[in-house]
Amino acid sequence: MSTREETAPQRGIFGALNRALAILITLAILAIAAVFFIPEIQRHREERAEIERLRSEVQRQELALAEKTRELQLLRSDPAYVEILARDKLDLMKEGETIFRITPSGAAPTEPASP
């Protein structure tokens, strides 16, 4: 008999144990790596959510800036717009003009000034 045949049953048991041990060591290394990387993954997700929130805030601020820039341009260049704003703020109206005020629901309506 050759030495190969004599060690075959021993190698089978020890080989299976060696493979099981290698699998367990690999799983332990993966578990340790997961313990270190899971907080980083959560932090990364939180940072992405914060970036999205900030992007939407920037977009909202850009829209507000565009609106204010348009209003400033109208105030500088359009006398009719200035007249309308002044009459609206002072509750004044021209002869024969009818003013309709639309108030948001829940807000108390204001009485227009008489001429």
Let me know if 87 is exposed, middle or buried by CB neighbors in 10 A (0-12, 13-18, 19+).
middle
Which tokens belong to 38?
A: 């899971």
Does the structure show a pLDDT above 70 at 49?
yes
Q: State how far the Cα of 79 lies from the Cα of 108, in Å rounded to an integer.
A: 30
Strand stretches in the chain, DSSP E: none
| Rounded Cα gap, residues 91 and 88, in angstroms | 5
Interatomic CA distance for residues 56 and 62, integer angstroms: 10
According to the model, what pLDDT value does residue 1 have?
A: 45
Q: Could you tell me if residue 108 is inside a domain?
A: no
Query: Mean pLDDT throughout 44-69?
Result: 97
Structural domain count of the chain: 1
Q: Please determine, for residue 115, whether its predicted confidence score (pLDDT) is greater than 80.
A: no
Residue 72 binned pLDDT confidence (cut-offs 50, 70, 90):
very high
State the average pLDDT over residues 44-62: 97
Please state, in angstroms and rounded to a whole number, the distance separating the CA atoms of residues 69 and 48: 31
User: What is the span of the domain harbouring residue 82?
Assistant: 14-90
Q: Could you tell me if residue 44 is inside a domain?
A: yes
Task: Give the whole-angstrom CA distance, residue 107 versus residue 51.
Answer: 36
- Residue 115 vs residue 61, higher pLDDT: 61
